[in-house]
Structure 1
Amino acid sequence: MTGPSIPVGVATGVGSWPGTDPREAAAIVVGELPALPHLVELPDRGVGADMIGRAAALLVDLPLDTSTTAYRLAQRPGAVTRRARDLLRRDLDALEEAWEVAGRRGTDQPVKVQSVGPLTLAAQVELSGGHRVLTDAGALRDLAESLAEGLSVHVAEVARRLGSPVVVQLDEPGLPAVLAGSLAGVSILQTPRAMPEPEALAFLSSVIDRLESPVLVHSCAAGLPLALLRRSGAAMIGLDMSELTVADLDGVGELLEDGIALALGLVPTLGPEPAPGWRELAQPAVTLVDRLGFPRSVLATQVTVTPRCGLAGASPEWARVALRRAAELTRAFADGAEFD
């Protein structure tokens, strides 16, 4: 991995955003997230716009179609792949326009792009017979290679369009289920096996190692294999604070000790009324570093703040508030505010 580091002590988004207007979304994200804006995903647009559908626009020589149950590998590019590529092109056009308006072209200002990770992708995409790609080691290897190649091309295009460095986020919400073997199969006798951690690590690292950008591996799922992620080559690990348990404390501490940054989901996806203040939102992170025995200054030097997953399901008003609350938290952490 080469290139710039991932900014810490800043706010960023997870990826998804409510609505269907890419220009409006890009303008808001570039305006509200001055240190690390991101290329948004707008799943409300339907097929080709969700996390797995976005992969249809990135994969090289592995087109996707849809079945009655899921996305499926296809023999040749069809309507689904063409739609996914068109939506991605529109999103890039919108981000490039917002970037120009904000005067950020040719600066050192990084931007983040997101993609589903290889294991979650293989768990959600079907082979022609209806089995998950995950059940075929050769197909999984081909999928990981195709994703890595497509992401490299995507990153290069974003960097060229914006004249800025790019950070890559790999979303792996399905990783715990892949390791546990808890995914359903086409029949009760054909459920996917539990994947050993060394095998899962090899597939994830194969994608990270191909990218010439710093990588954030993100998941809002409970029970993340933090030791595996620590060895993956990722520069930052994204976690939802509401999913962490006492059993995760040692793993989080080892990440910080190894110099791996954290992206902590601290802001609720669906806005409560009244909206919580920064002290209330900061408390889980403060408690975490206190319990681990780290100085609170680590919240400014090794932590990036995000909303929790699923912001696409929020109202447009709360989505913008969530980004502002995340930015408020980073300022409080940087200022060494009193939280007690």
Structure 2
Amino acid sequence: MTLATGIGSMPGTDFAESMRLVLDELSLPYVPELPARGVHAGMIGRTLAVLDGLEADLQPDGWRIGVGEGADLRRARSLLAQDLDVAEELATEHEGPIKIQVAGPLTLAATVERPRGDKMLADHGARREIAQSLAEGLGAHVRDVRRRFSRADLVVQVDEPAITAVLTGGIPTASGWSRHRSVHPPEADALLRVVVEAVTGAGARPVVHSCAADVPVELLAGAGFSAISFDLGLARPDDVWAETFEKGVDLWFGVLPSTDAAEVSQKAVVQRIETFFGRFGFAEETYSDRLVVTPTCGLAGASPQWARSVLVAAQSVAARR
């Protein structure tokens, strides 16, 4: 059976309302992020709240590691705990898959600053440190979430929107006059792999999402992710997709607009999916149980009405598979 889910973020500030929506409408519900409540509730703040052994605070230029636990990190941790309490109350009887999301180590390193400024991406040791901290904290976080949803199968989505820029030297330095050096694939593999192992070691399924162009499919599959979530509109139909799928890595298709748009033709969406697989000679019975339908990216920039309608549409497309 084809499933449907969202990427992570939702509009608005009412967590309980968003949680009820994803539980009611999706075959693969998730614990949503509501960044409209502030940076504490966004992807990076949410993930920093999970780290083990590293403290952070919000500075004028963004989140900075190694300056002690500030009020903003305490707020992020408090919001995460409150949201999980609400999610547990609403989904305690849920059976089947349920998803949580965290930012991946490469995107964290490209976003968060070192104690003296500039991104952690600038230093090999700092990159390794934040990946290890994420892995340690994520293992404990996953075990806590599994306890809360004892009847569910937990999926952990690792968000890597910056991965292509990190690998190609596209992240600007603090001055803006130059770019950080690219992270080579062997190091990127090691940073991702330690996070994947933490997820699987805690009894959950690791999935990676990137809404960037030129997703490094081989790297992500090689690091151990069991599925790759991507924007179909940005993906070139290279043979690497077929080879990866044949090796057992599932594909999650971002095929529905994540911001308000004209009415979407579900028939056209189904045809796009069939065309993609058809190029490689895959019949429907070979992929229908390994396909997840999603919006192209998070829904934080959508209106509440569109967020609801696009999730309903995703589930409807999945039901037609």
- Say yes or no: TM over 0.5: yes
Output the CA distance in 1 between the equivalents of 2:49 and 2:183: 27
Partner SS for 2:29 = coil
Deviations 1:268-298 (A, max 9, x none): 112323x223101222211101112111233
Deviations 1:103-156 (A, max 9, x none): 42xx4x221110000000001000022121011111111111110111111111
- C-alpha displacement of 1:67: 2.0
Percent of counterpart pairs with the same letter?
Answer: 42
The amino acid across from 1:205 in the alignment is R
Where does residue 280 of structure 2 map in the other structure?
292
- C-alpha displacement of 1:195: 1.1
Taking the TM superposition and a 5 Å limit, the aligned residue runs for 1:151-230 are 151-163=138-150, 164-187=152-175, 191-212=179-200, 213-230=204-221
The amino acid across from 1:96 in the alignment is E
Where does residue 28 of structure 1 map in the other structure?
21
Structure 1 pair 191/271, CA: closer, same or farther in 2 (3 Å)? closer
Moved more, 186-195 or 169-178: 186-195
Partner SS for 1:169 = strand
| Residue pair 1:266, 1:282 contacting (<8 A) in 2 also | no
> Is the counterpart of residue 269 in structure 1 residue 272 in structure 2?
no
- Aligned pair partner of 2:99 in 95, 99, 112: 112
Output the CA distance in 2 between the equivalents of 1:47 and 1:330: 33
Where does residue 32 of structure 2 map in the other structure?
40
Partner SS for 2:140 = helix
Deviations 1:31-73 (A, max 9, x none): 111x321010001011211111111210112112122222111
- C-alpha displacement of 1:186: 2.3
Structure 1 pair 282/168, CA: closer, same or farther in 2 (3 Å)? same
- C-alpha displacement of 1:97: 1.9
The amino acid across from 2:231 in the alignment is D
Where does residue 233 of structure 1 map in the other structure?
224
Deviations 1:62-86 (A, max 9, x none): 1121222221113321111101011
Structure 1 pair 318/188, CA: closer, same or farther in 2 (3 Å)? closer
Output the CA distance in 2 between the equivalents of 1:254 and 1:299: 13
Partner SS for 2:284 = coil
Partner SS for 2:6 = coil
Deviations 1:11-35 (A, max 9, x none): 11110011011111111111111x3
Partner SS for 1:110 = strand
| Uncovered stretches (5+) of structure 1, i.e. residues with no partner | 1-7, 334-340
- Aligned pair partner of 1:318 in 298, 301, 306: 306
The amino acid across from 2:248 in the alignment is G
| Residue pair 2:57, 2:67 contacting (<8 A) in 1 also | no
Where does residue 309 of structure 1 map in the other structure?
297
Deviations 1:221-247 (A, max 9, x none): 00111111121100000011111124x
Partner SS for 1:297 = helix
Deviations 1:278-327 (A, max 9, x none): 10122221110111211123341221111111311111111111111111
| Residue pair 1:56, 1:80 contacting (<8 A) in 2 also | no
| Residue pair 2:8, 2:30 contacting (<8 A) in 1 also | yes
Partner SS for 1:288 = helix
Taking the TM superposition and a 5 Å limit, the aligned residue runs for 1:34-183 are 35-100=27-92, 103-104=93-94, 107=95, 109-163=96-150, 164-183=152-171
Output the CA distance in 2 between the equivalents of 1:110 and 1:149: 23
Output the CA distance in 1 between the equivalents of 2:144 and 2:184: 35
The amino acid across from 1:280 in the alignment is A
- C-alpha displacement of 1:189: 6.8
- C-alpha displacement of 1:188: 5.9
